[in-house]
Each structure stands twice: as C-alpha cells, then as structure tokens.
Amino acid sequence: MHDKLERHIERLKAGDGGAFDYIYDQTHRSAYFAILYIVKDKMYAEDLLQETFVRALKNLHQYSAGTNFAAWLCSIGRSLALNFLKKNAREIPTDFDADARKYGAEEMKSSDLFDLAAKLLAEDEYEILMLCQVAGYKRREVAAMLNIPIGTVTWKNNEALKKLRRYLEKEGGQ
C-alpha cells in the first residue's frame, strides 16, 4: 500500500489530478479521526478534513517522498483542528454535548460511544481504535499509516477495547 500511495503522490505532484482519488481513499479516514478526536463534532471534522486536503495539496511540494504521507496529512489536520478550537472555543457546541440527545437513538449511541472513547483513551489509542474498529482498516494498514509496528497497533487496539469494556461493565453494574 505504501509504495502504491507514494507512486500516486508523485503522479499528483507531476500534475495528474486523477491520482488524487486514490490518495484520498487511502488517507481520509485517518485524518478524519485525528481531527474528530480534537473537535468532537462530525460536521466540523468534515469541514476541517476538506481544509486539510486543500492545505496538503497547496503544500504538496513540502512532502518528502518516502516518509509517511498519512502521518503528514494527520499533522496538518490536527494543527487545523487545534487552531479552529482555539479560535472558536466558546462558540462550538459539539455532537457530544447534551444537546445532541435530540438526535435519533442510533445517532445518540454513536455520539455517546465516541465521547466515551475520547474521554477514556489516549489520543493514539483513540485514533487506532477508530481506524481499526470504525473505519475498518486492517491493523497492518493502520501500522503503515501511522508508521508504527503492527504489534503496537494490535496492543493499543486491544487495550483500548479493554478499557472501554471495563468502563461499560462497571457502569452497567451500578
């Protein structure tokens, strides 16, 4: 996957706009969940994801071939999300706020679970959990995206699931 992604990035740098679709398909979920972890609102995360790709395309010449493009993209997304929060901190209701309860039951379950995961887990655990469990990436794909060993991805994913399970069992028992 990494080599094919790099080839598409080189094609995009050379002016082949058709290469963008593959790059987007391979990287948008990791950037989205990195942003969502920070802003905790799907609508803002989607907007910031678009801005992330615009910024990445504008600065594609700064990306060093052979490094981790997904990690580079996530760092752009995180930076935009943090700047967005700093600029709009008092004005932003999030999907995870109490007002979100007005949505349907399925929406509420997702928001509650994402909120719980964001509160209980470290950022890297949250990102790995979202990529493996929600976005459906294989652990080896997540390892390549985040440039970490597959064993680390497996361990952090399992630990995140255990933390959530322990919390839910504890809350269910009360």
Domain hosting 150: range is 2-172
Binned at pLDDT 50, 70 and 90, residue 103 comes out as very low
167 pLDDT above the threshold of 50:
yes
Percent of the chain with pLDDT over 70: 84
Query: How confident is the model at residue 106, as a pLDDT?
Result: 40
What is the distance between the alpha carbons of residues 73 and 23, in angstroms, rounded to a whole number?
11
What is the distance between the alpha carbons of residues 127 and 148, in angstroms, rounded to a whole number?
13
Q: What is the pLDDT of residues 7-49, one digit of tens each?
A: 999 999 999 999 999 999 999 988 998 898 888 888 999 999 9
Phi-psi map region of 136: left, alpha, beta (phi>0 left; psi -120 to 50 alpha): left
**CATH number, domain containing residue 9:** 1.10.1740.10
Number of domains in the chain: 1
- Cβ-proximal residues to 60 (8 Å cutoff; 6+ apart), any chain: 9, 12, 13
